[in-house]
Amino acid sequence: MSQKINVQVSSEIGKLEAVILHKPGTEVENMTPQNVERALYSDILNLTIASKEYDELHQVLNKVTTTFQVKELLLDILKNDEVRKSMIHRIVQNEHLEAFESNLLDLEYTELARQLIQGGEMVKNNLTRFLDPERYSLKPLHNFFFTRDASITVNDKVFIGKMANKVRDREAFIMENIFNHHPLLNTQTVNPINFAGCIDNITIEGGDILVARKDILVIGLGPRTTSQGIDYVIEYLKKTNERRHIIVQKLPYKPESFIHLDMVFTFLDVDKCMVYEPVILHPNHFQTIHITIDKGEVESIMDVDNILVALKTLGMDLKPIFCGGSIDRFSAEREQWHSGANFFAIAPGKVIGYGRNEFTINELNKNGFDVLNAKDIIQNKINLNDYQKYVITIEGSELSRGGGGARCMTMPIARQHIDF
């Protein structure tokens, strides 16, 4: 594809026109029981199975939109010597690998791209390195197939994530350079490291930011996004001099399945959303705050009952569909753990999620969504144009063990506008 893409996402559900993905590679397998927690996993994935499951998502998306792979975009920008040298210098400084800078500079750009994602093995050429239990000097990016977190499209800009865990810093740096230097992508990046506030406490990740409408962001406040991270967004929005709303949802810090807002709340259609009820709808359980920004100032900050109440006051009246169904709380807990609320919309009322979450899928079906199997779509047994509303089910027994779902694995960069 040679036509420039104007980056623009003003909702979670507008018809998808372009999306960035990253197929999990050997970086997912380069974990051991000793470093799995540092890699932010609770278990070790089987790459063979995870790759087959991921291919279902990728092939379905190829049927309906334009897809890009991170590695291919990275290869393109590394062909530019200035970009390559600048990236290497910043990475070795951030990761304290100055001794390896010359080694990285000597790598051919395809091998450099591979190592930046899959890791660069430590050369055991002195006693200190020989005794070092680490296998890699340049650590693998175990989490990069969750492309949602490191960069966030908000209208025509791309916010660069300030990751809560240093093991993910390079993901954000790679994405920033892709958006700044790739000739096909027309946008501007906004980076928290340039924010004049208290940078030490700013963390913000894409799984916590949902674009409800051009003027409304819904942001999770929890393990991965701090109040200072949201303050950074407020300061940015004040500069736009337009009326904007942020709905902040506090999240539990445990268990780990609540790391991002999109693990408990996602948009499905112009009038429907997926919720994990105990976090989103139980009164007085987890605080919800509505912030209004206008004319360059914070006009008001106030508590509200929940996200749905706040959205309704702004003209978005959504019916909640319950993750795990509404009968058995144990089923809801189990399915939320396996990303049962984490859906990705390819158009209004057309979503993708894990088929393993049977109670959730059944709840969608009861609310008018036809259930379509990804394999049937890939094999052209189903014509998507024959259906008004649907949920495409992909395999996810292995992928879900990584701690994310279809929304986590997709970073949309262009959607059609919707008039709500």
- Res. 248: pLDDT tops 80: yes
pLDDT grade for 37, boundaries at 50, 70 and 90: very low
pLDDT attached to residue 43: 62
| Residues 158 and 54: beta-carbon distance below 8 Å | no
Mean pLDDT in the chain?
A: 92
Helix axes 109-118, 81-94, angle to 10 degrees: 30
Calpha distance 47→40 (Å, rounded) = 16
pLDDT at 234: 95
The residue-averaged pLDDT of 119-140 equals 81
The token pair that represents 416 in the structure block: 């059609």
pLDDT attached to residue 96: 92
Q: What is the pLDDT of residue 40?
A: 45
Give the whole-angstrom CA distance, residue 347 versus residue 38: 36
pLDDT for position 200: 73
User: Where do the structural domains in the chain lie, given as residue ranges?
Assistant: 5-110+135-415
Widest pairwise Cα distance in the chain: 66
For the domain bounded by 5-110+135-415, which CATH number is listed?
A: 3.75.10.10
Give per-residue pLDDT as tens, 7-30: 999 999 999 999 999 999 988 877
- The residue-averaged pLDDT of 175-196 equals 92
Residue 155: how many CB atoms within 10 A of its CB? 16
Is the pLDDT at 418 greater than 50, yes or no? yes
pLDDT in tens, 48-99: 999 999 999 999 999 999 999 999 999 999 999 999 999 999 999 999 999 8
pLDDT beyond 90 at 164: yes
At residue 124, the pLDDT reads: 74
pLDDT higher than threshold 50 for residue 198: yes
| CB contact burial 33-53 (16+ within 10 A = b; e otherwise) | eebeeebbbeebbebeebbeb
372 pLDDT exceeds 80?
yes
